Structure 1
């Protein structure tokens, strides 16, 4: 057989051993499964709250991704000076903001929750299914963690009681719709006429919850995701135990978002109109003054037509002046915007449009600054100034204002340079114009100034009308594609996952207990652990002797213990393989592992097969053999070693129960057992006994405590090291491994004593008591 086949069989054997080790605790796995599946059933039946998914789809006009499917009415949003860009990611953040959800909760009075008594705990009920509904007074704050009990008396009155530590406090009778003022809030209890009073027989329990906590809960359950990567469709989903309430929350959330968007647009339009009105008032005064100057000048000078050359120079000068006027106008606009940017603090106004400044960077910076200022104002309605969010936005506004001012000044510097160049050209034209009569030149200058201001006035007037039109027609950039609707079946809890988890946990928990027990236990449990820690051949296993008899391996006895001794008898013959194996040394690591019991019954089993066997009690320090078989230990080995006149026949005692079995006791306990074990008469004793007996079995002292057994090693043919199940420590297996590696004993073998019957037979026959006699190999009975 090749190495791969051997390795495969060993691995399969180890797996079977591990599995069988856990299967013996099958009852723990059964109990664990029953408990966990029972708990899962109880949780799903009485504790779990089914939740339904409410979903909706909305379209948001996103300029960064195109106009989308916009209708004709949406073009009103493009009027005016300020056209804020809408980014899908930003809109998702607004939809999932806590402030928006808090507004919905307050509008719907969701901080009030209702319960009725269940089998094990209170069961939440949707307010729409109850005959009553609690509404807080305007601007009233309901103290969280307040518990009330409402008992309906009739269609007009009810009993209200506070609950403290599970006990009902003082109760009072109120009329439906009556304003109730309490330390924990001001509210009214209204009658829901759609639900009859008889539908609720028990008390209705009411609790007030924190608006902030509920906002966090619903925001955490809210999912907002783009339908695709290129469009502006958003898919909204929300889970709630009550589909009706979830639909209302979704509808009010979309409505609040739409109203907030319109409010932001209107605020920008109002600020822009105010700035234009200020500028128009200034231009009106300037135009009036210029027009009066023209009128007076013409009356005084009676102007005539100018020559064609003068007209050419004047035309070029006019163009230069027009450019200067345009640059100056742009500089004036930039100065006006700079004035707005210089205003800081809580009352800083929204920066208006850049008018005719065609710089996209400045437009973008001002738009972002306006968005941050509006966001800050929105946060300050519900958040103090020292809130980290407000502080962060303040810093962003400060940084963005500085960047905007720097960009604005750069643009203005560029305009000044361009203006300087045009002015240089203008000086050349004006030198030619000086030939024209001074009066005509002055008149033309006045007309140019008048025309410039007139054009600017008309431009601002047009933009004001556009802003007023967009304000008068507030078209929302949000459109509902799919109205909120709830699923037909709950999405939570997932019964399959819970039962599967209970099944896995029910198996894992007993497995962990058994695994921990096996890891903590440092005692030898089965044959596989011996094979893991040592390479010493295993002679066999002895089942636990439940009858507590010493001599169990009798000829007429068919118990599992007796059968296992017969199997060991056969294994001894098989292991010998024709070699001499008459003298067998039996030892162990410490007392109590059953070496004396093994020696007695091995001798009995060999004698029952027709062999002549003698068992020697060579444990001179703590002898037990003769006492266990009920024989006298007055004379024995120590007496033979110290008394030269004592013969071997004088210390041999035949067994009164087993024919062919003899014993030699240890005799008196010597004070110098170690020195006595070195006596040359020991070799003589063993040699003589080998001549008279088929087997000589030596019950020696524990080898882990004293070295007496090593002194007998030169005189034996094989050695048996007894290990006891659940008694010998795994660390003590190093003793026999050291003996095996260093050849301290002759042909050492291991016997596992005290195992359970099934474990012992796992490496034996695997049969019952009666049938064992028919299935044992014939060689086991050969003499």
Structure 2
């Protein structure tokens, strides 16, 4: 057998760029409207069920006002009386307070306080809903939530006798519960009691509940993620907080607890400094009090032993002067003592800075301000170290600031001590002068004056320390937080699911998904779809379309008096062929296809039948010499045929191998292929082929070549030299798209040989093209039985 040398391969070049045909797209959507309607119905039904049964998510909102040292005061926090007593405390940075409100430790305290690691859900027919506080008949207390290392799910249900039963573990173990008794399951301690705030109604009669216990870390992270803390504006000191939760009351409770714990911790930080100062003052007072008692005892003993009731007027004057000097001396010594104590405290804790006593009693304002700044930095470092870790850059930077400030404090204290010593030396000089004058007083009086002077010094120092302790006590008792709640936690309603949005998204998805699937199917489909596509992408003109015949009893559908759609389509093709050659109709027509099963033999037979109905003699040549099937389709069996004639024209009579196709009054003939030859291509190129064409041209008005697929063998290309036009049959939904590109290349390579196309089996797969099928209302006319003429 001759080897095919022109077997077509899939072209490497792409087809011309495909433009979007809106009309075709609308046809596809219109044809597939049941799927789109089904998709929309399904999507909207799912959305409705989701809106109906999904557990809602609520949002609570609260606001507080912070005293920001950079943005001004905050109302009552700027009271002048509080400033005078140093009770208002230093201002805070809003940004820092936002980070504190979002801190893990603060949220952990909230979760522990309100037991947010426990989620109680009331069982429902389809969904379970979270209940909290007075919505549940039981109060469940967990003593050690830190022991929860993995999520747990328990069931608790009420019994007819009023008791409760707990189902727990992988095998649903039962545990009868007694109110007020502590139980332990795998180390987890819990207790149940009745909830006095619970009121039964028609909505909460079901006594079946589910208990979801989360590890503390998981619960804290979940609520931290649900918390949103933002400043009201760039210039305001108001902080807005929002929290989402699946229970409305629980969201509000969590926010209120967050604010309460935040204020409580802020007060504790402020009270640390005051308590430290009180401890220092109490210690000093105890020492001075003992010394004062000792001096008072000496005065009393001296007067008793010497029987002294009064001193002279001169001695009294000296005593008054000495008293003033002693007061000054006492003040200087007190300041010097306070500074030495502060210096000792700073040096003792140099490696591990701690809070130092406040600046109460220090006459130097700059030093008192530095001490206040130092204590604020120490508290901030401790808070940041707990939240971020001691090695984080923020605590490290704060530690460096504290170290530098402590060094400055020690230097400042040293300078102040030097100044107080100089002042003390001056006072001592005055004291020496008074002592010289007192020497003239009798010895007994002089000794009494000395003892009374010591007593006066101790009294002044004692009164000063007592005054400072009272001021610190007032500060401790009157400490107020640096924030004020301006809007308590309140619900702003359901934030999820957003029913309108869910329905809108469902509608869009229900519409977009089927359309996208239709488009993708079309996009990835690599076969020819319709006539419009062939006309747009193929340079070979379309002569017509042939509809799919579902129940064909004969391969020849074009019969005398036939009014079927397919018969009319072949008549249209016949007419269009006559217009391909202006002035005369093509006589020799070659019909081929790219591959088998595309309908070239069906097209050849019925095209020939349409010419026979014009009273023209037409012959169909079965030139598929390798796999002849045409003669068998029309029930013609012959031992001889084209192969015999081409092999030995001198011994073969053309009339002996021609066979009439019945039903066309000797106007439709078939020339069978004959025996399968070993060299069909060589036979076609032989001289006998010309002789065959000459004889057939004399006998017939039209000659139609039924050739093998050009994509498999070269026969059709060789026979094209004898044809006036070549018709390539394309099958809808079967012929590859790249075949059109191949036909364009053939027309470019051989412009002298015109190519035309016919689209076969249109509407076979009930595609959207059925909207554009031949007929447009004439189907009933074509399919109706023909009336007999009277």
Structure 1 length as normaliser, TM-score? Answer: 0.78
SS at match of 2:239: strand
Matches within 5 A, 1:430-509: 440=433, 464-487=469-492, 489-509=493-513
Distance in 2 (alpha carbons) for counterparts of 1:117 and 1:139: 24
Q: 1:517 to 1:340 in 2, by over 3 A?
A: farther
Q: Do 1:365 and 1:400's aligned partners in 2 also have CA atoms closer than 8 Å?
A: no
Hey, what does 1:186 align to over in structure 2? 189
Q: 1:351 to 1:571 in 2, by over 3 A?
A: farther
Q: Do 2:564 and 2:782's aligned partners in 1 also have CA atoms closer than 8 Å?
A: no
Distance in 2 (alpha carbons) for counterparts of 1:131 and 1:218: 25
Hey, what does 1:34 align to over in structure 2? 41
Deviation at 1:75, TM superposition (A): 5.1
State the Cα deviation string for residues 405-433 of structure 1 (Å, max 9, x = none).
Answer: 2354367668989999x99x99xx99xx9
Deviation at 1:748, TM superposition (A): 0.7
SS at match of 1:576: coil
The yes-or-no answer on 1:606 pairing with 2:611 is yes
Q: Do 1:543 and 1:760's aligned partners in 2 also have CA atoms closer than 8 Å?
A: no
The yes-or-no answer on 1:228 pairing with 2:233 is yes
Unpaired segments ≥5 residues, structure 1: 1-9, 291-301, 306-320, 380-388, 445-449, 775-783
Distance in 2 (alpha carbons) for counterparts of 1:280 and 1:159: 61
Aligned partner of 2:591 among 579, 586, 590: 586
State the Cα deviation string for residues 228-271 of structure 1 (Å, max 9, x = none).
Answer: 32222222222334333333333222222221111111112212
The yes-or-no answer on 1:741 pairing with 2:740 is no
Hey, what does 2:403 align to over in structure 1? 405
State the Cα deviation string for residues 46-81 of structure 1 (Å, max 9, x = none).
Answer: 2x1123332223222222211122267685377449
Q: Greater relative contact order (Cα 8 A, min sep 6): structure 1 or 2?
A: 2
Hey, what does 2:27 align to over in structure 1? 20
The yes-or-no answer on 1:92 pairing with 2:124 is no
Unpaired segments ≥5 residues, structure 2: 1-16, 296-313, 318-328, 438-454, 785-790
Aligned partner of 1:339 among 319, 343, 347: 347
Q: 1:18 to 1:711 in 2, by over 3 A?
A: same
Q: 1:126 to 1:407 in 2, by over 3 A?
A: closer
Deviation at 1:551, TM superposition (A): 0.5
Deviation at 1:597, TM superposition (A): 0.9
Hey, what does 2:649 align to over in structure 1? 643
Deviation at 1:672, TM superposition (A): 1.3
Hey, what does 1:547 align to over in structure 2? 551
Aligned partner of 2:64 among 58, 64, 68: 58
Q: Which moved more, 1:353-362 or 1:647-656?
A: 353-362
Q: Do 2:564 and 2:783's aligned partners in 1 also have CA atoms closer than 8 Å?
A: no
Hey, what does 1:219 align to over in structure 2? 224
Distance in 1 (alpha carbons) for counterparts of 2:654 and 2:588: 17
State the Cα deviation string for residues 186-238 of structure 1 (Å, max 9, x = none).
Answer: 33322234546786654432414223333332332222222232222222222
State the Cα deviation string for residues 558-586 of structure 1 (Å, max 9, x = none).
Answer: 22322222222222233333355221111
SS at match of 2:130: strand
Deviation at 1:87, TM superposition (A): 1.3
Deviation at 1:678, TM superposition (A): 0.5
Hey, what does 2:441 align to over in structure 1? none
Hey, what does 1:629 align to over in structure 2? 634
SS at match of 1:525: coil
Deviation at 1:495, TM superposition (A): 0.8
Q: Which moved more, 1:362-371 or 1:56-65?
A: 362-371
State the Cα deviation string for residues 4-63 of structure 1 (Å, max 9, x = none).
Answer: xxxxxx9997221233234433333222222222222222222x1123332223222222
Q: Which moved more, 1:32-41 or 1:591-600?
A: 32-41
Hey, what does 1:112 align to over in structure 2? 118
SS at match of 1:720: strand
Distance in 1 (alpha carbons) for counterparts of 2:190 and 2:20: 75
Distance in 2 (alpha carbons) for counterparts of 1:443 and 1:527: 134
Q: 1:406 to 1:138 in 2, by over 3 A?
A: closer
SS at match of 2:580: helix
Q: Do 2:273 and 2:358's aligned partners in 1 also have CA atoms closer than 8 Å?
A: no
SS at match of 2:354: coil
Hey, what does 1:134 align to over in structure 2? 140
State the Cα deviation string for residues 443-468 of structure 1 (Å, max 9, x = none).
Answer: 99xxxxx9999999998776654432
Hey, what does 1:122 align to over in structure 2? 128
How many correspondences in the alignment? 720
Distance in 2 (alpha carbons) for counterparts of 1:153 and 1:141: 33
Aligned partner of 2:381 among 347, 369, 372: 372
Distance in 2 (alpha carbons) for counterparts of 1:13 and 1:518: 12
Q: Do 1:178 and 1:189's aligned partners in 2 also have CA atoms closer than 8 Å?
A: yes
Q: 1:568 to 1:203 in 2, by over 3 A?
A: same
Aligned partner of 1:652 among 654, 658, 663: 658
Structure 2 length as normaliser, TM-score? Answer: 0.78
Hey, what does 2:107 align to over in structure 1? 101
Q: Do 1:153 and 1:159's aligned partners in 2 also have CA atoms closer than 8 Å?
A: no
Q: 1:84 to 1:697 in 2, by over 3 A?
A: same
Q: 1:666 to 1:82 in 2, by over 3 A?
A: same
Q: 1:152 to 1:73 in 2, by over 3 A?
A: farther
Distance in 1 (alpha carbons) for counterparts of 2:677 and 2:435: 148
Q: Do 1:541 and 1:751's aligned partners in 2 also have CA atoms closer than 8 Å?
A: yes
Deviation at 1:667, TM superposition (A): 2.0
State the Cα deviation string for residues 468-508 of structure 1 (Å, max 9, x = none).
Answer: 22201122222222232224x52321011111222222233
Aligned partner of 2:276 among 252, 271, 286: 271
Q: Do 2:641 and 2:672's aligned partners in 1 also have CA atoms closer than 8 Å?
A: yes
Q: 1:760 to 1:552 in 2, by over 3 A?
A: farther
Distance in 1 (alpha carbons) for counterparts of 2:531 and 2:291: 112
Deviation at 1:612, TM superposition (A): 3.0
Q: 1:572 to 1:366 in 2, by over 3 A?
A: farther
Distance in 1 (alpha carbons) for counterparts of 2:431 and 2:356: 44
Distance in 2 (alpha carbons) for counterparts of 1:528 and 1:738: 20
The yes-or-no answer on 1:762 pairing with 2:769 is no
Q: 1:34 to 1:79 in 2, by over 3 A?
A: same
Q: Which moved more, 1:107-116 or 1:656-665?
A: 107-116
The yes-or-no answer on 1:709 pairing with 2:713 is no
Hey, what does 2:267 align to over in structure 1? 262
- RMSD over aligned Cα atoms: 4.8
Distance in 1 (alpha carbons) for counterparts of 2:770 and 2:395: 83
SS at match of 1:358: helix
Hey, what does 1:664 align to over in structure 2? 671
SS at match of 1:85: coil
Deviation at 1:717, TM superposition (A): 1.3
Hey, what does 2:574 align to over in structure 1? 569
Q: Do 1:152 and 1:197's aligned partners in 2 also have CA atoms closer than 8 Å?
A: no
Distance in 1 (alpha carbons) for counterparts of 2:231 and 2:211: 37
Aligned partner of 2:529 among 521, 525, 528: 525
Distance in 2 (alpha carbons) for counterparts of 1:255 and 1:496: 37
Matches within 5 A, 1:763-778: 764-771=774-781
Distance in 1 (alpha carbons) for counterparts of 2:153 and 2:592: 78
Q: 1:153 to 1:375 in 2, by over 3 A?
A: farther
Distance in 2 (alpha carbons) for counterparts of 1:540 and 1:463: 112
Deviation at 1:600, TM superposition (A): 0.8
SS at match of 1:575: coil
Q: 1:665 to 1:766 in 2, by over 3 A?
A: same
Q: 1:452 to 1:734 in 2, by over 3 A?
A: farther
Distance in 2 (alpha carbons) for counterparts of 1:627 and 1:731: 32
Q: Do 1:53 and 1:237's aligned partners in 2 also have CA atoms closer than 8 Å?
A: yes
Q: Do 1:558 and 1:769's aligned partners in 2 also have CA atoms closer than 8 Å?
A: no
